[in-house]
């Protein structure tokens, strides 16, 4: 188990600046998830940590040792790839044992290490099979077992679940999280899936165009996003963004989102916005913070809307409607709406909304922070 420290890391592919001055410190034993859209530089950053790519400038240190000029095999890193990278002509046992043999591990130590790793991943009954005889989930467990058996200082995962179906991904997320709890090792995991990031991470590092947009605990980023990009990336369905103008009337601050639609802001949470009265803002509200009217909770702003689309999921129903000119999604109870075309009364929890400056897309007010 080791800590990782990255300082001012840059990586280019020709004229393409892929990683742009990354500074990142990961303490020993933490499970960190690098997440972001395709092309944001997360896999390149992971491969540079592993030594599979050279850093053009900057420093990478593992357990206090600078490793920029150390070969990948000497960095004491175990990596799990997206495509499993198993040898088809070797049994499961031999695939897991391969790294141990390559490092000249004494023969008498190999069998118990492989059996222990296989038991931990519930594949001990598959040790005599070949990769062609395994399912996708079993193949992924073998790939993870080959990494686990190494007892490395650092474990890297490069989108290991992207080739699995939805049910298997759910199962394997739980397996990987349990694995981290049992091993207590430093793990860095790359994904473009925000659900994986939220469920697995001790800390999320959200990347955008080669830079870190924001990092922190999953709920910290979810509830206290620093930018519109972070707010929109985390959450499914994603946050609604509605143009509005900040006004003040006899009852206090409010948002005008359309003619005849004014949403009162709780003074205790948004009173500091007085100096922006009259300015344009972007209202951010998550679908789960819009519900049918009837709650006695304070700061629930009523709106009447015409439902345009109904998407039942079983336990919940997602509906779409227009709020001003913006298509908006609400997450309601299963039987709150029966069909499109209904006009219903909803309420927005104004204690949970955020306000964004449209000029720079920075969050300027967050109800949860007040």
Tens of pLDDT, residues 194-228: 999 999 999 999 999 999 999 999 999 999 999 99
Domains 4-233 and 240-369 in one fold:
no
119 vs 117: CA distance, rounded Å: 5
| Burial per residue of 195-231, b for 16 or more beta-carbon CB atoms within 10 angstroms, e otherwise | ebbbebbebbbbbbebebbbbbebeebbbbbbbbbbb
Q: Is the pLDDT of residue 253 over 50?
A: yes
CATH fold for the domain made of 4-233: Rossmann fold (3.40.50)
Summary mean pLDDT of the chain: 92
Q: What is the pLDDT of residues 164-193, one digit of tens each?
A: 888 888 888 888 998 899 889 999 999 999
Q: Is the pLDDT of residue 369 over 60?
A: no
Q: What is the pLDDT of residues 347-363, one digit of tens each?
A: 999 999 999 999 999 99
What's the pLDDT score for residue 10?
98
Q: Is the pLDDT of residue 298 over 80?
A: no
Record the pTM: 0.91
Q: Where are the domains of the chain?
A: 4-233, 240-369
If you ran DSSP here, which 8-state letter would residue 265 be given? P
Query: CA separation (Å) from 125 to 92, 115, 133, 252, 293?
Result: 10, 10, 13, 67, 55
Top-level class of domain 240-369: mainly beta
**Number of residues assigned to the chain:** 370
What's the pLDDT score for residue 268?
82
What phi-psi label fits residue 98: left (phi over 0), alpha (psi between -120 and 50 degrees) or beta? Answer: alpha
């Amino acid at each position: 188990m080791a800590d990782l420290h990255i300082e001012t890391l840059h990586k280019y592919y020709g004229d393409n600046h892929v990683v742009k001055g990354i500074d990142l410190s990961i303490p020993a034993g933490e499970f960190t998830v690098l997440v972001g859209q395709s092309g944001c530089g997360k896999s390149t950053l992971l491969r540079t940590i592993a030594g599979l790519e050279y850093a053009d400038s900057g420093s990478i240190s593992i357990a206090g040792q600078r490793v920029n000029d150390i070969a990948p095999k000497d960095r004491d890193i175990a990596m799990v790839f997206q495509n499993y990278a198993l040898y088809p002509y070797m049994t499961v046992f031999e695939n897991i044992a391969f790294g141990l043999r390559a490092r000249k591990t004494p023969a008498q130590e190999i069998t118990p290490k492989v059996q222990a790793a296989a038991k931990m991943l519930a594949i001990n009954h598959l040790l005599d099979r070949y990769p062609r005889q395994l399912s996708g989930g079993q193949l992924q467990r073998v790939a993870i077992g080959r990494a686990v058996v190494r007892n490395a200082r650092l474990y890297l995962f490069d989108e290991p679940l992207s080739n699995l179906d939805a049910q298997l991904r759910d199962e394997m997320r739980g397996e990987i999280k349990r694995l981290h709890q049992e091993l207590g090792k430093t793990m860095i995991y790359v994904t473009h899936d925000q659900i994986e990031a939220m469920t697995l991470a001790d800390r999320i590092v959200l990347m955008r165009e080669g830079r870190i947009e924001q990092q922190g605990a999953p709920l910290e980023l979810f509830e206290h996003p620093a930018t519109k990009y972070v707010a929109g990336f985390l959450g499914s369905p994603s946050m609604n963004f509605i143009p509005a103008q900040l006004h003040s009337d006899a009852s206090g601050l409010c948002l005008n989102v359309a003619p005849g639609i004014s949403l009162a802001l709780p003074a205790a949470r948004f009173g500091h916005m007085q100096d922006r009265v009259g300015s344009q803002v972007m209202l951010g509200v998550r679908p789960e913070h819009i519900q049918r009217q009837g709650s006695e909770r304070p700061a629930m702003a009523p709106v009447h809307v015409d439902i345009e689309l109904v998407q039942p999921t079983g336990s919940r129903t997602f509906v779409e409607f227009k709020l001003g000119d913006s298509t908006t999604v609400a997450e309601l109870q299963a039987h709150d709406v029966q069909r499109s075309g209904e006009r219903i009364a909803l309420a927005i929890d104004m204690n949970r909304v955020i306000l964004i400056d449209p000029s720079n897309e920075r969050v300027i007010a967050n109800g949860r922070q007040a």
